[in-house]
Structure 1
Amino acid sequence: MKKIILGIDISSKTLDICLNTEGSSAHFTIANQVKAIHVFFKKLARQQVVVAMENTGRYNWQLYEALPQYGFEVYVIPALHLKKGLGLVRGKSDKVDAERICKFIQKNQDECVAWKPTSVNIQKMKVLLTERNGRIKIKRQLLGLQSDYKLMKTIGLEKPLIKMNQSLIESIQQQIEKLEAEIEKIIQADERIKEQARQIRSVPGVGPVTCWTMIAKTEGFSTITEPRKMACYCGIVPFDHQSGTSIKRQPRVSTYADKSIKSTLHLAAMSAIRFDNKFRDYYLRKVAEGKNKMSVLNAVRNKIVHTIFALIKNQATYQDHLVLS
């Protein structure tokens, strides 16, 4: 049976598909709709097919809905991985991008992790967290404008603008609270996620937002199953920077990271070291030894991640007598 490789470039309305069969390629453009996707895939249903696509967020949803009905091997590639893996390229179009995705998976399939369908509850959590984060940003921007309005006192616009701004902030805050309530409702309705949330929240410093984010990013600890990989994904693992005898820098964290979960873990670490627990003891001991405070705080973030994964693996809650080296 011939092996067919599909590279799919996704946009909001269309899918550009590069179909490669033993070196020969063909290009197709179809609507980014479930019905159109089924019509195309049904022709390949009995073939050995590998599907590769870039992770474009919500534009992937139509494919996610259609693909589970077929026995295809599917890979969803992070945009950064795809960009760095293509090497030196020039020019860009949807047709060319589909061909590049096809060539990428041909070369790197062994290194990529196959995609698996996500549960509906995890999908809902991801969407609600994205909506919440968007409103948090808007609220932060509106709060920043409050001080600027004071500069308009001389032209008499200070009070009406502040009043309008405050009304928007209150409305957005109400929406944030509704979104958070919906996330909690999803967690309470799913026994598996509910138990994971109970275990995660038992860790000192870890609150609801860190808990929700960890579950969503790992898809219920099914896609990322190792703490070292999660720590690397969060950008809290220091890497060496050395070449020959002339270049040797202190280990530092990589800029290639999920900044949102990194900042969430930072807040969790800051909270943890304020209270009497093993994380605080570790922090104070290392600082007393002369270690850089930010480096130690990063180590605390790392330990929080490892502790969460240990609890999930052992189906246990945090015990403060656990020894942190």
Structure 2
Amino acid sequence: MNFSNHLLNRKSKVMKNIIIGIDISSKTLDICIKEESLNYYSIENNVQAIKRFFKRYSNENVIVAMENTGRYNWNLFEALEKFNFKVYVISALHIKKSIGLVRGKNDKIDALRICNFIEKNYKESREWKPSSCSIKKIKILLTERALRIKIKKQLVVQQHDYKLMKDIGLDKELKSLNIKLIKNIEGQIKIIENDIENIIRSDETLNHQQKLIKSVPGVGQVLSWTLLSKTEGFTIITDPRKMACYSGVVPFDFQSGTSLKRRPGVSMLADKNLKTILHLAAM
């Protein structure tokens, strides 16, 4: 009897999950590990340091969770592809809404909150899977394109201020420099757009999906690129209803008893970039 209890206890220890929450910044990773006790670590945010740290857990049942912080996640993604861990990338807003009233904040506490959140919710959360190389490239190029479009808008607005400099004789020179800079940026945008199209054409699946998307009236290149990027080739969002909710185009009820009853409206919890592009396509 004692021997069987020993085996059961050993099995439970072997099967027990190790929960890891990671708070990410540009240079460091603050890590909270929940095993028999809580342990905290801080390591550099580079691929070699991450691989070195996680190597000790390579034969364990590990659940790793982190917030989505854009480019700061990339080193973690590259390193974690080499391990057989369950990885979850969580919206910061989702965690914030789930923890209730809190006071204070630092990197160590944030790592603990991520750790506690995923321990309770990992069964209902979607597990992260590495994106294909084509999707990674498209996402980066779309980000670079958006940055240049923002700069171009600022330069166009700036042209109106040059009229105020006519009295001191700088208006024509500055406007000429401004126009040259805009043309340069437009050339870069065109190069990026051609690169995106070439990536899609070279990928048989993405090329077929783009043709299907563009067969819908009003859908052009930018919307097709955005849909492929946001859904990662329709692999992470496969349900039309979920896609509509994610895009922020679904009305929801606002009603409570008899005191609160408003007409249905769309939620602010949506991908604003995708919603904007869908709106422009519909105009």
The answer to whether TM tops 0.5 is yes
Report what 2:120 is aligned to.
107
Matches within 5 A, 1:235-250: 235-250=248-263
Report what 1:59 is aligned to.
72
**What is the Cα deviation at residue 98 of structure 1?**
0.5
SS, match of residue 248 in structure 1: strand
Report what 2:147 is aligned to.
134
Alignment of 1:221 with 2:221, yes or no, is no
Of 150-159 and 243-252, deviating more is 150-159
Of 18, 28, 44, the residue aligned with 2:32 is: 18
**What is the Cα deviation at residue 110 of structure 1?**
2.4
Of 225, 233, 246, the residue aligned with 1:212 is: 225
Alignment of 1:4 with 2:18, yes or no, is yes
SS, match of residue 185 in structure 1: helix
**What is the Cα deviation at residue 155 of structure 1?**
2.9
**What is the Cα deviation at residue 199 of structure 1?**
0.8
Alignment of 1:36 with 2:12, yes or no, is no
Report what 1:283 is aligned to.
none
C-alpha separation in 1, matches of 2:206 and 2:280: 23
SS, match of residue 99 in structure 1: helix
SS, match of residue 265 in structure 1: helix
Could you report, residue by residue, the CA deviation over 1:10-31 in whole angstroms, capped at 9, with x for unpaired residues? 1111111100014x20001111
SS, match of residue 87 in structure 2: strand
Runs of 4+ off more than 4 Å: none
Amino acid at match of 1:197: Q
C-alpha separation in 2, matches of 1:197 and 1:238: 27
C-alpha separation in 1, matches of 2:264 and 2:202: 44
Report what 1:199 is aligned to.
212
Of 171, 184, 197, the residue aligned with 1:184 is: 197
C-alpha separation in 2, matches of 1:51 and 1:103: 11
C-alpha separation in 2, matches of 1:62 and 1:111: 26
Report what 1:306 is aligned to.
none
Of 113, 121, 133, the residue aligned with 2:134 is: 121
SS, match of residue 57 in structure 2: coil
Report what 2:6 is aligned to.
none
Amino acid at match of 2:32: C
Report what 1:158 is aligned to.
171
C-alpha separation in 2, matches of 1:44 and 1:259: 38
SS, match of residue 38 in structure 2: strand
Could you report, residue by residue, the CA deviation over 1:38-83 in whole angstroms, capped at 9, with x for unpaired residues? 1111100111100000001111111111112211111000122122
**What is the Cα deviation at residue 235 of structure 1?**
1.0
Report what 1:84 is aligned to.
97
Matches within 5 A, 1:251-262: 251-262=264-275
Structure 1: stretches of 5+ with no match in the other structure: 271-325
C-alpha separation in 1, matches of 2:196 and 2:96: 33
**What is the Cα deviation at residue 154 of structure 1?**
2.9
**What is the Cα deviation at residue 151 of structure 1?**
2.8
C-alpha separation in 2, matches of 1:109 and 1:234: 24
C-alpha separation in 2, matches of 1:181 and 1:87: 47
Could you report, residue by residue, the CA deviation over 1:206-243 in whole angstroms, capped at 9, with x for unpaired residues? 00000000000000000111111111111111111111
SS, match of residue 110 in structure 1: coil
Provide the TM-score with structure 2 as the length reference. Answer: 0.92
**What is the Cα deviation at residue 167 of structure 1?**
1.1
Provide the TM-score with structure 1 as the length reference. Answer: 0.81
Alignment of 1:71 with 2:84, yes or no, is yes
